[in-house]
């Protein structure tokens, strides 16, 4: 073989990231009589193929798990059945509180075998179930709510866990008989995570999961899911000890999901109940930009990775714009919505359309999102994303090209987007690269968002300018008392378009992170530089610390402290010192009760560094949660805010009391009763809501 040809072969192998390490394999045997899901582990499981030899991912990477685990797997026409046999040498070391994350197991399934995305099913020793979607080859996690069931049973030798996962709950290619799969066991007090397949100490990766062969799902029937929703809401507003308004109303809505193919899913919602009576937590905002708020509505969360995921370098789609709250507190009504997602070959595709109603100055609007992603070079990706908002006042559309390249410890991303808002056209560009190994970590980000780039209709565009940052430093694992340690020095440059010509913010920084073997976490950061803001050039330094004690103990503490010698305070339009603090105390009383108290404070000095009482913003958040079982709980929380009012220049006081009883009585079927009492500026607003949602699976 010539040198040129051998070099080309080496390059191809390197680009594809071919793995030389063999992956474990388990076969799905067919069972004519399904096992009873009760945690007993009846003799039928002896006919199943099994997985053993779990390997620690942390703390002692590559060593055998400290407790042996055996997993059995069966299938019939409609379900995948999985059983865990988990021996326990000392039950006093098992973490099983309902009020906390317990010891337990995980099942991870990659039906498309794309080495990027996976379903994760979690069952704790205390019977608590949860699930989510893994994206980005294990680097990101998205909420998901699947239909499946499990059972846990304690035995003299340990505990058994059984799961039944319907094929109709998963999206999969109909002709593929081999999937990616992995199993995990977590021992919380030991800080141990062990997997069937070997994973690096730097983290779990979908691309390193084992193989599931012989999988043969049968037909899915109609694949139709109906979710009728009924809601009763009572709202009362009291002004100066007199009733300002008193309203009682009943609402009904319908959510429909149809899976015409094993890989496709169509969701439709009519007059949905997307209102949140639990307000977003109060946050101090001293910048000149609006805050980013996390999405919590199931219709928008499911399959979010198809539409760019929760992380977009330039956010051309921001689902919280849909049904957004207005300044008077009312939310723009959502009339109807439809969402389609599908997987064809190595590609995934999505369509989202939502119609919102007219309210106050917000006209009736139509939001549209289209997405297409295709895998290339192993588990790398190339995608297109479109988002738009149209109404009688304006139109706003954006189209982005998104490329992600992954190779072992390296990840890079190119995001190029063009936007139209009214008569203006402009673009945004982001380049990112990261490296993560067991000895070194680093990241490079370069970003430019043009002055006329605007995606604030369906997306989120605040900052516009040029930005660049780089850090690179050593990391250590399992050395001395450290489970993990990192030293990250770096530099940062930033320029917004309203700065004077050739003016940049410049900063050098150092971040230190450490996690001990006893599960204490410490992060320290400091930096110094100069910047431009409020028509002034100034130099400033900053420092901070974040510390968390072992969360597995009955009592835990976390503390956050930060200080900036000079900062641009856009709430008071001055350049002055700012200090922030947050203290959280958390205690577990028995197995079912969790109580907490959080106190956060922000101190805004004046330009001469002087502080008065009205310069303090204080937020108190005590609360408790009691778990009746793994399916039912009640939560009470209070938020008291003492804050600076920029309109009056004085302090204002707000109080919120929130209560919630929730009961999941069947998969994706729940009942809740909630109340929210808010007191602000002499007015009392009380809301009571009772809601029932039930799944009809056809």
Q: Which of 348-352, 510-514, 690-694 has the lowest mean pLDDT?
A: 690-694
Does residue 578 lie in a domain region? no
Residues 194 and 299 in one domain: no
Environment class of 454 (CB within 10 Å of its CB; exposed 0-12, middle 13-18, buried 19+): buried
Residues 295 and 208 in one domain: no
Residues 302 and 199 in one domain: no
pLDDT at residue 469, as a whole number: 97
- Distance CA(111)–CA(126), nearest Å, equals 28
Residues 191 and 310 in one domain: no
pLDDT beyond 50 at 47: yes
Which pLDDT band, with edges at 50, 70 and 90, does 10 fall under? Answer: very low
Which tens digits make up the pLDDT trace of 172-216?
888 889 999 999 999 988 889 999 999 999 889 999 999 999 998
φ, ψ for residue 173, nearest 5 deg: -75, 130
Single pTM value for the model: 0.82
pLDDT at residue 8, as a whole number: 41
Which tens digits make up the pLDDT trace of 470-513?
999 999 998 888 989 999 999 999 999 999 998 999 999 999 99
- Distance CA(142)–CA(54), nearest Å, equals 26
* Domain end position, chosen among 213, 248, 263: 213
DSSP β-bridge partners for residue 151? 162
Does residue 35 lie in a domain region? yes
pLDDT at residue 404, as a whole number: 92
Cis peptide preceding 59, ω within 30 of 0? yes
Residues 209 and 316 in one domain: no
- Distance CA(628)–CA(667), nearest Å, equals 18
Residues 306 and 192 in one domain: no
Q: Which domain holds residue 144?
A: 23-213
Q: How many CB atoms lie within 10 A of CB 511?
A: 17
* Domain end position, chosen among 165, 195, 213: 213
pLDDT at residue 685, as a whole number: 82
- Judged by DSSP in three states, 459 sits in coil
Number of domains in the chain: 2
Residues 329 and 450 in one domain: yes
Residues 298 and 152 in one domain: no
Which tens digits make up the pLDDT trace of 527-557?
999 999 999 999 999 999 999 998 888 899 9
Which tens digits make up the pLDDT trace of 142-175?
778 888 999 999 999 999 999 999 998 888 888 8
Mean pLDDT of 558-577: 92
Better-predicted residue by pLDDT, 345 or 415: 415
pLDDT at residue 282, as a whole number: 66
pLDDT at residue 435, as a whole number: 94
Q: Which of 225-229, 316-320, 567-571, 574-578 has the lowest mean pLDDT?
A: 225-229
Does residue 623 lie in a domain region? no
Mean pLDDT of 253-282: 73
Mean pLDDT of 249-271: 82
pLDDT at residue 154, as a whole number: 94
Mean pLDDT (the chain) is 87
pLDDT at residue 597, as a whole number: 96
- Distance CA(43)–CA(45), nearest Å, equals 5
* Domain end position, chosen among 402, 436, 462: 462
Residues 192 and 297 in one domain: no
Mean pLDDT of 587-596: 89
Confirm if 465 and 449 have CB atoms less than 8 A apart.
Answer: yes
pLDDT beyond 90 at 584: yes
Q: How many CB atoms lie within 10 A of CB 660?
A: 18
- Distance CA(185)–CA(198), nearest Å, equals 13
pLDDT at residue 468, as a whole number: 97
- Distance CA(677)–CA(636), nearest Å, equals 11
pLDDT at residue 147, as a whole number: 87
Torsion of CA 437, 187, 627, 618, to 10 degrees: -40
CATH code for the domain in which residue 185 is found = 2.60.40.1190
Which one-letter DSSP state was computed for residue 331?
A: B
């Amino acid at each position: 073989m010539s040198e040129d040809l051998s070099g080309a072969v080496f390059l191809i192998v390197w680009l594809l990231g071919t793995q030389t390490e063999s992956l474990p394999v388990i076969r799905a045997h067919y069972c004519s009589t399904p096992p009873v899901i009760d945690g007993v582990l009846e003799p039928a499981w002896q006919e199943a193929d099994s997985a053993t030899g779990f390997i620690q991912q942390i703390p002692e990477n590559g060593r055998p798990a400290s407790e042996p685990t055996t997993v059995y797997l069966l299938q019939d026409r409609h379900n995948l059945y999985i059983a865990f046999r988990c021996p326990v040498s000392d039950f006093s070391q098992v973490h099983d509180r309902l009020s906390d994350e317990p010891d337990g197991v995980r099942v991870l399934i990659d039906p498309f075998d794309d080495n990027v995305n996976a379903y994760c099913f979690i069952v704790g020793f205390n019977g608590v179930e949860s699930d989510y979607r893994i994206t980005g080859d294990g680097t990101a996690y998205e909420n998901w709510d699947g239909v499946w069931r499990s059972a846990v049973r304690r035995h003299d030798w340990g505990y058994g866990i059984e799961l039944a996962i319907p094929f109709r709950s998963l999206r999969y290619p109909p002709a593929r008989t081999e999937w990616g799969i992995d199993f995990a066991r977590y021992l919380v007090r030991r800080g141990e995570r062990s997997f069937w397949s070997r994973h690096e100490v730097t983290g779990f990766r979908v691309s390193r999961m084992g193989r599931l062969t012989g999988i043969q799902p049968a037909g899915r029937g109609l694949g139709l899911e109906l979710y009728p929703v009924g809601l009763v809401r009572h709202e009362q507003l009291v002004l100066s000890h007199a009733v300002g308004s008193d309203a009682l109303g009943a609402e009904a809505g319908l959510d429909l999901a149809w899976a015409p193919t094993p890989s496709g899913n169509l969701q439709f919602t009519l007059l949905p109940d997307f209102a949140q009576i639990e307000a977003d937590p109060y946050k101090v905002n001293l910048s000149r930009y609006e805050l980013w708020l996390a999405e919590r509505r199931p219709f928008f969360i499911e399959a979010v990775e198809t539409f760019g995921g929760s992380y977009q370098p330039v956010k051309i789609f921001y689902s919280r714009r849909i049904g957004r709250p207005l300044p008077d507190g009312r939310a723009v009504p959502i009339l109807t919505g439809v969402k389609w997602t599908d997987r064809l070959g190595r590609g995934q595709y999505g369509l989202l359309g939502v119609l919102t109603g007219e309210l106050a100055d917000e006209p009736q609007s139509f939001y549209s999102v289209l997405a297409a992603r295709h895998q290339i070079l192993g588990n790398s990706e190339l995608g297109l994303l479109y988002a738009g908002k149209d109404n009688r006042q304006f139109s706003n559309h954006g189209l982005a090209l998104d490329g992600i390249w992954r190779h072992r410890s390296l990840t890079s991303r190119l995001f190029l987007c063009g936007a139209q808002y009214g008569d203006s056209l402009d673009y945004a560009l982001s380049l990112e690269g990261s490296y993560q190994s067991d000895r070194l970590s680093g990241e490079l980000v370069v970003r430019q968002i043009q002055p006329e780039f605007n995606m604030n209709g369906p997306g989120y565009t605040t900052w516009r300018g040029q930005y660049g940052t780089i850090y690179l430093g050593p990391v250590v694992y399992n050395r001395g008392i450290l489970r993990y340690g990192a030293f990250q020095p770096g530099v940062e440059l930033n320029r917004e378009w309203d700065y004077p010509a050739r003016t940049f913010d410049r900063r050098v920084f150092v971040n230190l992170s450490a996690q001990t073997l006893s599960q204490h976490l410490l992060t320290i950061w400091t930096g110094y530089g100069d910047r431009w803001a409020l028509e002034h050039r100034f130099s400033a330094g900053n420092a901070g610390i974040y510390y968390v004690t072992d969360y597995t103990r009955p009592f835990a503490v976390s503390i956050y402290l930060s200080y900036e010698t000079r900062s641009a305070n856009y709430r008071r339009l001055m350049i002055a010192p700012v200090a922030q603090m947050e203290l959280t105390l958390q205690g577990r009383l028995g197995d079912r009760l969790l109580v907490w108290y959080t106190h956060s404070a922000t101190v805004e000095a004046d330009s001469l560094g002087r502080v008065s009482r009205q310069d303090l913003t204080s937020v108190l958040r005590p609360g408790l949660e009691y778990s009746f079982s793994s399916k039912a709980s009640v939560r009470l929380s209070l938020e008291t805010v003492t804050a600076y009012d920029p309109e009056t220049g004085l302090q204002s006081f707000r109080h919120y009391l929130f209560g919630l009883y929730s009961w999941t009585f069947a998969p994706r079927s729940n009942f809740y009763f909630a109340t929210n009492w808010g007191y602000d500026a002499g007015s009392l607003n009380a809301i009571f809501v009772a809601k029932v949602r039930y799944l009809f699976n056809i």
